[in-house]
């Protein structure tokens, strides 16, 4: 059942049509078959997974109905899993192994999921390619000569290749959304702070008792269907232990269920970066389909924040985040400058609130192009070709800044293939804390127009 959804696997497990041991054996066999070429699973934990699968089957036989009981999953290498190394791709790290699970991993296990391994990442989680000196390079199942994205690229490749039905990663500069776009799968960047990040810190740093407010960054699920994103989010969302003594999570329901009821603002051009014809044409086809389905679709609004200003503020705050641990006064920004930028962020959040009073979702590209060829050159000297244009490699990030700056939820989903046969995705940005709306819109689009399709050669 390599391309069954998680919900289908759960139903099969609970009805007795399959077993956790059988699903695990299928996953392991598929990894052995395809991973020599893909290199998606960096750390394998098959023996402990086999023990967990037998325990899950016994629990199912007793009538245990936890939401993910018996389902094999993978997680990004950056998450601590007790007994396994965490390196972020940095040589000389990973020992001693993690002493405890990350909060996200602990919640997955509590829901009954079987963590079978950890997937490959970009070096220090800082690239749109998943390659590092510790585990090597991960290739895209759609074209081995191309990147699966980063930094959660190993997880997206594992999903597209049918290893597992759920993967979990992190996102600061599109690290969930870009791999989903490049590999033709779904991902959800939750509202900032919705899922605890404790246990996904750099190797050797302490896992603080409660640290949900790491600026800009989030952790969240990847899947091959939006319904599975919703299932996974329910399993991992909610306050960390220290906050849970005082409050509980109560996300509002989706604004709508029927596709025709959604008010859609669609963007396909950005003032700071060109967008390829492959991406724009896929969005246009979708826009035409949405209009035929009865959606209100527009391409502009006076309430839309200035996209260039959003990217600039995001860059300042990102540099403050990344520069905090760099030597030298030139790294990062001053606290005074951060305060000023944060005030501008608050003003931008207010503008988004006004916009989402009139619109339900904003649709836009994830990245300027489909998956690009591997580029092992130094980051500062790399160039990215976008049709007839060429830009600095690092300048491809503005689209991911839209949701990240103010912590908005964003669901990435596949919407077709380019003329080269590569996946093209879009991101669905929604109002703050209305994660169920962006996922429900993805479900409605999937029902109307389709979603994930397996890469050629992997569906046999």
Would you tell me how many other CB atoms lie within 10 Å of the CB of residue 435?
Answer: 28
In contact, 165 and 223? CB cutoff 8 Å: yes
Cα–Cα distance measured from residue 230 to residue 212, given in angstroms and rounded to the nearest whole number: 20
Cα–Cα distance measured from residue 414 to residue 434, given in angstroms and rounded to the nearest whole number: 21
Q: What is the distance between the terminal CA atoms of the chain, rounded to a whole angstrom?
A: 11
How does DSSP classify residue 207? -
Q: Is 185 left (phi over 0), alpha (psi -120 to 50) or beta?
A: beta
> What are the CA-CA distances from residue 72 to residues 80, 140, 225 (Å)?
17, 21, 16
Question: Where are the strands (E) in 268-409, listed by range?
Answer: 296-298, 361-365, 383-386, 389-392
Would you tell me how many other CB atoms lie within 10 Å of the CB of residue 293?
Answer: 16
Residues recognised as catalytic = 76, 151, 175
Quick one: CA dihedral 113, 118, 123, 127, positive or negative? negative
Closest among 311, 331, 314 to 322, alpha carbons compared: 331
Element holding 218 (H helix, E strand): strand 218-223
Question: Phi, psi at residue 73, to the nearest 5°?
Answer: -140, 160
* Cα-based torsion angle of the residue sequence 407, 371, 72, 26 in order, rounded to the nearest 10 degrees: 170
Cα–Cα distance measured from residue 422 to residue 432, given in angstroms and rounded to the nearest whole number: 31
Q: Is 90 left (phi over 0), alpha (psi -120 to 50) or beta?
A: beta
Cα–Cα distance measured from residue 335 to residue 342, given in angstroms and rounded to the nearest whole number: 10
Would you tell me how many other CB atoms lie within 10 Å of the CB of residue 47?
Answer: 8
Element holding 154 (H helix, E strand): helix 153-160
Order of strands across the sheet that contains 423-429: 41-44, 114-119, 72-76, 166-171, 218-223, 186-189, 410-417, 423-429, 361-365, 263-266, 296-298
Cα–Cα distance measured from residue 230 to residue 222, given in angstroms and rounded to the nearest whole number: 10
Cα–Cα distance measured from residue 411 to residue 241, given in angstroms and rounded to the nearest whole number: 26
For residue 458, what are its two tokens?
């992997």
In contact, 249 and 255? CB cutoff 8 Å: no
Please identify which residue in the block is written with the tokens 């510790």.
Answer: 134
């Amino acid at each position: 059942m390599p391309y069954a959804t998680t919900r289908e696997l759960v139903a099969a497990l609970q009805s007795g049509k399959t077993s956790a041991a059988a699903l695990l054996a299928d996953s392991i066999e598929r990894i052995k078959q395809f991973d020599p070429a893909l290199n998606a699973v960096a750390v394998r934990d098959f023996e402990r997974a086999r023990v967990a699968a037998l325990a899950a089957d016994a629990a199912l036989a007793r009538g245990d109905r936890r939401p993910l009981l018996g389902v094999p999953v993978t997680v990004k290498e950056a998450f601590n899993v007790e007994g396994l190394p965490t390196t972020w791709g940095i040589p000389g790290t990973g020992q001693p192994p993690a002493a405890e699970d990350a909060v996200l991993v602990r919640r997955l296990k509590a829901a009954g999921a079987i963590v079978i391994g950890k997937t490959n990442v970009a070096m220090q989680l800082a690239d749109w390619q998943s390659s590092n000196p510790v585990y090597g390079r991960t290739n895209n199942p759609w074209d081995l000569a191309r990147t699966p994205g980063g930094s959660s690229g190993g997880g997206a490749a594992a999903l597209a290749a049918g290893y597992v039905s759920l993967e979990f990663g992190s996102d600061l500069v599109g690290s969930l959304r870009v791999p989903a776009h490049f590999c033709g799968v779904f991902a959800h960047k939750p509202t900032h702070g919705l899922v605890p990040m404790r246990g996904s810190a750099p190797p050797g740093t302490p896992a603080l008792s409660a640290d949900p407010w790491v600026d800009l960054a989030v952790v969240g699920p990847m899947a091959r269907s939006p319904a599975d994103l919703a299932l996974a989010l329910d399993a991992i969302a909610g306050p960390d232990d220290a906050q849970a003594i005082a409050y509980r999570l109560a996300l509002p329901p989706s604004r709508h269920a029927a596709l025709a009821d959604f008010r859609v603002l669609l963007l396909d051009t950005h003032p700071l970066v060109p967008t390829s014809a492959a991406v724009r044409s896929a969005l246009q086809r979708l826009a035409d389909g949405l209009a035929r389905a009865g959606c209100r679709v527009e391409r502009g609004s006076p309430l839309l924040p200035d996209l260039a200003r959003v990217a600039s503020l995001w860059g300042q705050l990102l540099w403050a985040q990344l520069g905090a641990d760099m030597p030298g006064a030139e790294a990062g920004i001053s606290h005074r400058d951060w305060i000023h930028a944060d005030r501008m962020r608050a003003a931008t959040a207010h503008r988004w609130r006004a916009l989402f009073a009139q619109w339900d979702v904003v649709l836009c590209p994830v990245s300027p192009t489909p998956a690009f060829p591997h580029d092992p050159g130094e980051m500062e000297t790399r160039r990215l070709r976008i049709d007839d244009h060429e830009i600095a490699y690092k300048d491809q990030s503005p689209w991911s800044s839209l949701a990240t700056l103010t912590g908005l939820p964003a669901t990435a989903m596949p919407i077709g293939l380019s003329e080269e046969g590569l996946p093209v995705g879009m991101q669905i940005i929604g109002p703050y804390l209305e994660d169920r709306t962006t996922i429900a819109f993805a479900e409605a689009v999937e029902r109307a127009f389709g979603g994930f399709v397996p890469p050629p050669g992997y569906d046999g």
